[in-house]
A and B are shown apart, each in its own frame.
Chain A
Amino acid sequence: MSINESHGSPKPPSMRTPLGRVRSLGSSHSGTTDFWRQRITAVAMTLLIVPVIVVVLMLLGRNQAGAAQILGSLPIAIILLLFIVASAWHMKIGMQVVIEDYIHNEKLKLASVMANNFFSVAVALASIYAILKLSSGV
């Protein structure tokens, strides 16, 4: 069908609602996923911040043996693991927004977004590995 033919004919009626058409879509075709995850991780960290500060205060002035003993305990390890996962995810999304706002060169933007992913995953995995190592006592 050429452009001329389709031009005059009316569009076939669609069964899709306006909400159905936009849901999960948008310019990036990923919809509101990042927006929502940013809020989930924000609320998670808000709930975790008091225990995390308490853990950090508990570690003050202790040597490595004392710190390792505290960090290796189950509830503290879980609190820190949750906080690390939430913060890495949150900061990855946040930095991507900053990159997309300020870097207009397409190739540089792609490279920056990739570097952002690598950095966030690397920081998270290194921290997670350290906590698991402390928990298992090896």
Chain B
Amino acid sequence: MTARIERPLSPHMQVYRWTLTMALSIVHRATGIALYFGTLLLAWWLIAAASGPGAYANVQAFTGSIIGKLIVFGYTWALMHHLLSGLRHLVWDLGYGFKANEREALTWGALIGGISLTVLVWIAAYAIGGGR
């Protein structure tokens, strides 16, 4: 095992021209990691609801603060983006959408759709929650 064999290496990412699909591949992974830790917020909120008024008020104080709102807004976008970007992967899994224009369209769709859905959800949230 001591002898190292000189194997050919595949060129690493930096030699390639940046493409949208490459960037969005990284964003898909990054949003996945963010959502992973974001589940802590979801668990905290559910446990607080099950614990009592004091614990729930703490969650509401946090989600009502500026930093809390930013985190929940970011969580919403990460969820919406990861959802649409993931659907794009399912389309690819089925064997469709591999032509250059198709994969570009799918990727733009995930990017724009994710932002649009996030804004829509927040408009709905303010329309519903703002009234109470």
Instruction: Give the B-binding residues of A (Cβ under 8 A).
Output: 39, 42-43, 45-46, 49, 53, 57-58, 60-65, 67-68, 71, 80, 87-88, 91, 94-95, 98, 123, 126-127, 129-131, 133-134
Contacts and interface: CB of A to CB of B under 8 A. Distances in A.
B132 A68 contact: no
B90 interface: yes
Given A46-B83, A46-B87, A61 B129 contact: yes
B43 interface: yes
Contacts of A88: 39
A61 B36 contact: no
26 contacts: A42-B90, A43-B90, A57-B125, A57-B129, A60-B128, A60-B129, A61-B130, A62-B132, A63-B56, A64-B55, A64-B57, A67-B56, A71-B50, A80-B46, A87-B35, A91-B32, A91-B35, A91-B36, A123-B39, A123-B42, A126-B43, A127-B42, A127-B47, A129-B50, A130-B46, A134-B50
Interface of B: 29, 32-33, 35-36, 39-40, 42-43, 46-50, 52-53, 55-57, 79, 83, 86-87, 90, 93, 121, 124-125, 128-132
A50 B35 CA distance: 17
Interface of A is mostly: helix
A46 B88 CA distance: 12
A68 B131 CA distance: 20
Nearest to B72: A56
B29 A71 contact: no
Given A45-B83, A57-B128, A91-B32, A130 B90 contact: no
B64 to A, nearest CB: 10
A67 B33 contact: no
B53 A63 contact: yes
A53 B121 contact: yes
B50 to A, nearest CB: 4
Nearest to A126: B43
B124 A130 contact: no
B73 to A, nearest CB: 13
